[in-house]
Structure formats: structure tokens, C-alpha cells
Structure 1
Amino acid sequence: MNVAQFIPVIAAIGPIFAIISVAGVMGWVITTWMRIRHGYPLDGQWGQAIYPKTDQESVERIRLLSQENGQLRAEIGSIKDRLANVERIVTDGAHSLDREIESLRTKAN
């Protein structure tokens, strides 16, 4: 067979092959993008997780951040309580504040 005989066959099959190849690459790109967007780990060539990495340093960092988050939440709670007391004092009339102070003095004696 002559090479010239294969040219019409290649011309007929070439675009189909190109469309299938582009569709496969685009499917891979979209799948990877969706996995990243939704937080799924990316897999390497042999199935090992590439991202996010779960090494000991990351686990320790997450633990420390969680602990700090708890401390900050507790501090915010105490600040809210203090602010509520300050708001109560500011919005109360001077007469009722004086009455409360006097009642505390009489209880202390």
C-alpha cells in the first residue's frame, strides 16, 4: 500500500481523534477544578494524596489553631458580659444606680 492511500483515512479519523482528546483533557481539568473547589484531596499518579497534605506539622497547626479559637471565643464571651454591664450602667438613671450602690453598702455593713 502507498502512503497516499492512508491520507483520506487519516483525514477522516483525525478530527474525531482530536475531539475525543480535547474532551478527555477538558474533563480532567473540570474534575480537578471541582475537587479543589469542594475540598477533596487531589490524587497523584499512584493514588497517594497530594493536596491537602496531612503531615504531622499540619495536624499540630490545626490543633493549636483550634485551641486558640476556643480561648478567643471564651474571651469574647467575657467581653460581651462586661459590655452588657456597662450598657446597663450607662442606660440606667443615676437615681437607680445610687440606690443599688447604697443597698450594697448596707449589705456589707
Structure 2
Amino acid sequence: MFDEIWILIPLAPFLLGGFAIWSRHKQKEMELGGGQQRMLGEPDALRMHEEIRTLKDRIQVLERIATENNAANDINRQIEQLRDR
């Protein structure tokens, strides 16, 4: 049994290093999560959230206008005008 423990000794630095990296990652994750929760309660953040939502809605309208089939109708109208000449 004690012969097997000696095998783990060379692996100890790698295990400790992995644990240190994991714990730092978890700590940063918790700090960022707390900051996001605090930000949701601020009036400026709420105002900005509403403004972003409004801008996204306006972008959708502009995309719909840009991708409508107006170009094909416009070309057909121009072709008919040329035929009438």
C-alpha cells in the first residue's frame, strides 16, 4: 500500500496547480456575477436596457424594409416604362 503512495508524490504539483487555477477561475466568476447583479438594479442600466431594446426593434424594421421585394417591383416598373416608349 505504501509503495503506491510514492507514485502520487510526483503528481502532487500538477494537482495543486490545477486546483489553484480552478479556484482563481471560480473566484473571478463569482466577482463578475456579483457585478452583473448589482448593475441590474441601477437606474442608468435599466434605461440603457430599454434603449437597446428600442434600437433592436428599429433595426428589425430597417432590415425588413431593406429586404422587401421592392427591388424586383422597381425593376419591373422600369421595364414597363421602357416598353411604353
Q: Give the TM-score taking structure 1 as reference length.
A: 0.39
User: Which of structures 1 and 2 has the bigger CA Rg?
Assistant: 1
Q: Give the TM-score taking structure 2 as reference length.
A: 0.48
